[in-house]
Structure 1
Amino acid sequence: MIKVAINGFGRIGRLVFRAAVVSDDIEVVAINAPDKTPAQLAYTVKYDSVHGRFNGTVESDDSSIIVNGKRVPIVGNRNPAELPWGEMGVEYVLECTGAFLTTEKAQAHIDAGAQVVVLSGPSKDDTPMFVCG
């Protein structure tokens, strides 16, 4: 099972999360969403104006959202180099903020302990892009 963290919980981060939580091959071990409470994040997972209501249970506590009984810790740090990816066993970071779209900026996730960073937007340097579809 692949252990992923989602950095940024806007439109793309939420949709990636919705897809990941129903996969048997992916475990979301953390979400980084500065300035948002777990209750706010749970609400945005539960209700989507385009995709409709989430087909499962969504709750929150002081530090996590609980989706289908699985607790996902919420961290809130704008500096990816300070995120606890190594401590949390994160293998892949899904970079969904749109703010870290160069190799140099994405490297901070690697420095924090992740093994791979997947950019959700087009890179702003010569970082290779792969488009599947």
Structure 2
Amino acid sequence: MAFCVPTHNVSVVDLNCRWEKAGKYDDIKKVVKQTSESPLKGILGYTEDQLISWYDNEFGYNNMVVDLMVHMAFKE
């Protein structure tokens, strides 16, 4: 798995859980939300906002490579 994470510390967690018994989706969300409001507040976040994000750090890098090539082409 490879993806870009637009955060300052560039970290992400892909959490997979194996439950002892089946649970309803709403019950699982409730437990995660409650946990995010416990002493883990500020470490574990929870939101139900529908978010869309886009991040492409390669575009800026590619532009800088082109700038460098142009600079080198005209340097004596």
Give the structure-1-normalised TM-score: 0.21
Q: In proportion to residue count, which structure has more helix?
A: 2
Give the structure-2-normalised TM-score: 0.31
Structure (1 or 2) with the larger CA radius of gyration: 2
Q: In proportion to residue count, which structure has more strand?
A: 1
